[in-house]
Structure 1
Amino acid sequence: MRKYSVLFFLIMFMIGTDTFLISPLLPTLQIQFGVSTDIAGWMLGAYTLGSAVFALIAGPLSDGWNRRIVLLCGLLGFSISTILCGFADSFWTMCLFRLLAGISAAFTAPQVWASIPAVMPASKISKTMGIAFSGLAASQALGVPIGSWLAAANWSVPFWTIGSVSLLLAVVVFYMLPDMKPSLQKGERTSILGRYVPLITSGKARGGFFAYLLLHLGCGTAFTFVGRWMADRFGLPVGQIGTVMIFLGLGNLLGSMISAYAARKLGGAVKAVTMGMIVLVILYMVMPRLAGVSVVTTVYFTICTILGMIFPIVMGALTSLNASIRGTISSLANATMNGANTLGAWGAGVLYVQFGGYSSIGIFAGVCLALSLWMFLSSGVLGRRSARTDKESAGV
């Protein structure tokens, strides 16, 4: 069973690396394609847009198909479109190939989460889920910086590398994973829209997902142009930007590892998220005014650590809204995240160019997180989860 854990880890590692790869490469790609700063973020936004839109249908729709085939096709599409990114000869062809990669990722990632309970024994499901999640965190700590270093030789190399490794993983999926056909009764039909009705009609769910949108909008906008800002402010080449990204990814990985421990020590989910997001608001607004790469790196490491701690708590609260449609909730959460990152990528360029550089992005991120915290608390999403978590921690 360990082979499945390794496979799922690597798939999520590749998807995570590809998702954030554009950020440190942005200065190089701007020069390569001759595009202005205010629209450069579209190269990242195209990927997240494709993933956001198609995630809404990919999860529920694939419940009626053989998950092995869906995962295989998604991974093949992801690998081919990512390889094509390395051959892009213009800004718009790059946006097109990134869009296709995002669409393919929308069909791939949900199958990982859905396949784990199908191929793993019940006692190993939770652990395997954690390993797959760690693949995403590790992609920021290792994948994105490695991609930046590869780009020092040629900007196309990271795309060719990710695409080629993903293609090999598709071969492994073909030979390793068993068929996972749906267990539907004859004539049974699954309504995609019907799966979302319980969430649409719930005020708590609406508030929780809007807060989740604001959370990702704030931190996604800030992350999109951190590479561009470091190049402008400190004169860092792409290789050194990749080195800085290591610390950001390590912070995210550290935060995800200590999330449950931090929640217990801080008195539950509500207090942990509240304290964490207040600190984030302050740090995002202060960071653009700091001098020195080492100081900025330390502050952003702290930001990523707090975000890594908050995200598992928030996701746990969202998936507990309705246990019968957790797959649909995960798809909606993924679509919300990528939708926010798309808006952030497109808006970051305008803020950076028209409204005072990275300082305006820091203010925007701080406001988004402050509103997000208010929505989380007022909707009650965290309160119920916190109460149950506190009881479980106490052994009740």
Structure 2
Amino acid sequence: MKLTALFFLIMFMIGTDTFLISPMIPTLQDLYSVPTGMSGWMMGSYTLGAAVFALIAGPLSDGLDRKKVMLLGLLGFAVSTALCGIAADFWMMCLFRLLAGISAAFTAPQVWASIQTLLPAEKKGKAMGLAYAGLAVSQAFGVPIGSWLAAARWSLPFFAIGALSLLLAGAAFFILPSMKPQSNAVSSRQAFWRRYAPLLGSGRARGAFLAYFLIHLGSNAAFAFLGKWSAERFHLPVDQIGTIMIFLGVGNLAGSLVSGYVNNLWTPSRIVAAAVPLLMIGYAALPHLPSFMAASVMYFAIFFILGILFPMIMGVLNSLNPSLRGTISSTATATMNAATTVGASLAGLLYAGSGGYAAVGLFSACCFAASLLIFGTSRVLAKEPVPQV
């Protein structure tokens, strides 16, 4: 129970920090006098660090004591996030966000790997579900709470996350046992990089990760400037912008809770065929809704569908090769954060152009259309495993 609670709280903190910037963009943009086209980098720098270093952190940690890797990651995450609260200018904020993302890249993969290492088979599924729930709950409650703190002073959310993450590092030190590598773990540079060879050499794996990238690209591009659009369209202050995050977070949590039932009822191909077109329509229509309440309901529906879709796709990715699940998880994390980085940057350019949030919504719909094309024309949803090399 202690382990599961620890993993839930770690993912809650990482999830809160990941998405905290979105509702704060109007506030930070005014604070640093940065143009809209560049402001997305305050979110993108975090995910850039997480994307690049996740590719290194996952396989590298297979040859080290996972407890030590997690502790160092949590300490770095706590310090770099707290430093965001004293960032004097835009570029300093981007630097500290980059460091926080790098630290998160060394922390989150250890959660998934530790569950597989420390818990008995009958408890692994529940623990994985609760850890994933930490991300959903962070959107439902962590980000809104951060927005409410930011209404009092913009730096408070960063100080709060830093302090609580430091406490979690202390708890992990006492709760987690040592998790030293097995004798056959990665021990050389050649073996380290060869773990990616089966994925790079498989057209089906490349198609799966490309579809996964496009789905995150579309969803995160729209999410990155949700706060700014809400402020401009509905004239909302930062604390009320946080309220809309409750709708999407609860929607994502609700979708996650029913995803197991839906995945048992429908095949992955049927889920994709039903979910992706609905998401295309939702993102295209979102910028044209007349009221804050209508936008909130639409985002609830969108994230409810995403809550069902994402676990299914992660299941497809992990089924590519059971012997490479650690590397697959790291690649999925890197793919997600790379998509968030690119999405935040492109959304800033689109929003700053003549199209505004309508252009962002159309871009998101096109990303989902492209992912649907890949799902439909490739063998992404086939069940044949990718062979080990």
* Partner Cα separation in structure 2 for residue 204 and residue 219 of structure 1: 23
* Partner Cα separation in structure 2 for residue 140 and residue 199 of structure 1: 31
Does structure 2 conserve the Cα–Cα contact (< 8 Å) formed by 1:270 and 1:383? no
- In structure 2, do the counterparts of structure 1 residues 206 and 186 end up closer, same or farther at CA, with 3 Å as the change threshold? closer
Q: Is 1:196 matched with 2:196?
A: yes
Does structure 1 conserve the Cα–Cα contact (< 8 Å) formed by 2:66 and 2:110? yes
Summarize the alignment of residues 163-174 of structure 1 with structure 2, pairs less than 5 Å apart: 163-174=162-173
**Residue identity matched to 1:163:** G
User: Which digits, 9 at most, give the CA deviation of each residue in 1:222-260, with x for residues without a partner?
Assistant: 000011001000000000000111011000111111112
* Partner Cα separation in structure 2 for residue 89 and residue 283 of structure 1: 38
- In structure 2, do the counterparts of structure 1 residues 20 and 186 end up closer, same or farther at CA, with 3 Å as the change threshold? closer
Q: Compute the displacement of 1:117 (Å).
A: 2.0
* Partner Cα separation in structure 2 for residue 327 and residue 35 of structure 1: 39
Q: Is 1:283 matched with 2:272?
A: no
* Partner Cα separation in structure 1 for residue 349 and residue 180 of structure 2: 47
Q: Compute the displacement of 1:193 (Å).
A: 1.4
Once the two structures are overlaid, the 10-residue window that deviates more, 177-186 or 296-305, is: 177-186
SS of 2:178's partner is: coil
- In structure 2, do the counterparts of structure 1 residues 184 and 32 end up closer, same or farther at CA, with 3 Å as the change threshold? same
- In structure 2, do the counterparts of structure 1 residues 116 and 264 end up closer, same or farther at CA, with 3 Å as the change threshold? closer
Summarize the alignment of residues 239-258 of structure 1 with structure 2, pairs less than 5 Å apart: 239-258=239-258
* Partner Cα separation in structure 1 for residue 293 and residue 249 of structure 2: 16
Summarize the alignment of residues 175-190 of structure 1 with structure 2, pairs less than 5 Å apart: 175-184=174-183, 189=188
User: Which digits, 9 at most, give the CA deviation of each residue in 1:30-72, with x for residues without a partner?
Assistant: 0111111110000000000000000001000110000000000
* Partner Cα separation in structure 2 for residue 383 and residue 220 of structure 1: 27
Does structure 1 conserve the Cα–Cα contact (< 8 Å) formed by 2:224 and 2:344? yes
SS of 2:304's partner is: helix
SS of 1:384's partner is: coil
* Partner Cα separation in structure 1 for residue 263 and residue 165 of structure 2: 36
Q: Is 1:153 matched with 2:120?
A: no
* Corresponding residue number in structure 1 for 2:207: 207
* Corresponding residue number in structure 2 for 1:392: none
**Residue identity matched to 2:207:** G
**Residue identity matched to 1:269:** P
Once the two structures are overlaid, the 10-residue window that deviates more, 115-124 or 336-345, is: 115-124
* Partner Cα separation in structure 2 for residue 187 and residue 223 of structure 1: 37
- In structure 2, do the counterparts of structure 1 residues 256 and 185 end up closer, same or farther at CA, with 3 Å as the change threshold? closer
* Partner Cα separation in structure 2 for residue 59 and residue 172 of structure 1: 22
Summarize the alignment of residues 295-306 of structure 1 with structure 2, pairs less than 5 Å apart: 295-306=294-305
User: Which digits, 9 at most, give the CA deviation of each residue in 1:272-325, with x for residues without a partner?
Assistant: 121111000011111111101111111111001001110000000011001110
**Residue identity matched to 1:363:** L
Q: Compute the displacement of 1:185 (Å).
A: 5.0
Q: Compute the displacement of 1:262 (Å).
A: 2.2
- In structure 2, do the counterparts of structure 1 residues 77 and 183 end up closer, same or farther at CA, with 3 Å as the change threshold? same
* Corresponding residue number in structure 2 for 1:14: 13
SS of 1:339's partner is: helix
* Corresponding residue number in structure 1 for 2:231: 231
* Partner Cα separation in structure 1 for residue 199 and residue 223 of structure 2: 29
CA RMSD of aligned residues (A): 1.3
Q: Percent identity?
A: 58
User: Which digits, 9 at most, give the CA deviation of each residue in 1:319-338, with x for residues without a partner?
Assistant: 10011100000000000000
- In structure 2, do the counterparts of structure 1 residues 64 and 223 end up closer, same or farther at CA, with 3 Å as the change threshold? same
Summarize the alignment of residues 6-155 of structure 1 with structure 2, pairs less than 5 Å apart: 6-155=5-154
Does structure 2 conserve the Cα–Cα contact (< 8 Å) formed by 1:377 and 1:383? no
* Partner Cα separation in structure 1 for residue 116 and residue 343 of structure 2: 34
* Partner Cα separation in structure 1 for residue 187 and residue 101 of structure 2: 30
SS of 1:111's partner is: helix
**Residue identity matched to 1:232:** E
* Partner Cα separation in structure 2 for residue 63 and residue 278 of structure 1: 39
* Partner Cα separation in structure 2 for residue 160 and residue 185 of structure 1: 41
* Partner Cα separation in structure 1 for residue 184 and residue 245 of structure 2: 49
**Residue identity matched to 2:293:** S
- When normalised by structure 1's length, the TM-score is 0.95
* Corresponding residue number in structure 1 for 2:387: none
Q: Compute the displacement of 1:373 (Å).
A: 1.3
* Partner Cα separation in structure 1 for residue 333 and residue 285 of structure 2: 29
Q: Compute the displacement of 1:188 (Å).
A: 5.0
* Partner Cα separation in structure 1 for residue 220 and residue 187 of structure 2: 40
Q: Compute the displacement of 1:187 (Å).
A: 10
* Partner Cα separation in structure 2 for residue 19 and residue 108 of structure 1: 13
* Partner Cα separation in structure 2 for residue 151 and residue 186 of structure 1: 44
Once the two structures are overlaid, the 10-residue window that deviates more, 338-347 or 253-262, is: 253-262
- When normalised by structure 2's length, the TM-score is 0.96
- In structure 2, do the counterparts of structure 1 residues 63 and 229 end up closer, same or farther at CA, with 3 Å as the change threshold? same
* Corresponding residue number in structure 2 for 1:391: none
Q: Compute the displacement of 1:381 (Å).
A: 1.9
* Corresponding residue number in structure 1 for 2:352: 353
Is there any run of 5+ residues in structure 2 with no aligned partner, and where?
Answer: 385-389
* Corresponding residue number in structure 2 for 1:293: 292
- In structure 2, do the counterparts of structure 1 residues 370 and 121 end up closer, same or farther at CA, with 3 Å as the change threshold? same
**Residue identity matched to 1:181:** K
Once the two structures are overlaid, the 10-residue window that deviates more, 176-185 or 188-197, is: 188-197
Is there any run of 5+ residues in structure 1 with no aligned partner, and where?
Answer: 386-396
Q: Compute the displacement of 1:89 (Å).
A: 0.7
User: Which digits, 9 at most, give the CA deviation of each residue in 1:331-375, with x for residues without a partner?
Assistant: 000000000000011111110011410000010000000101111
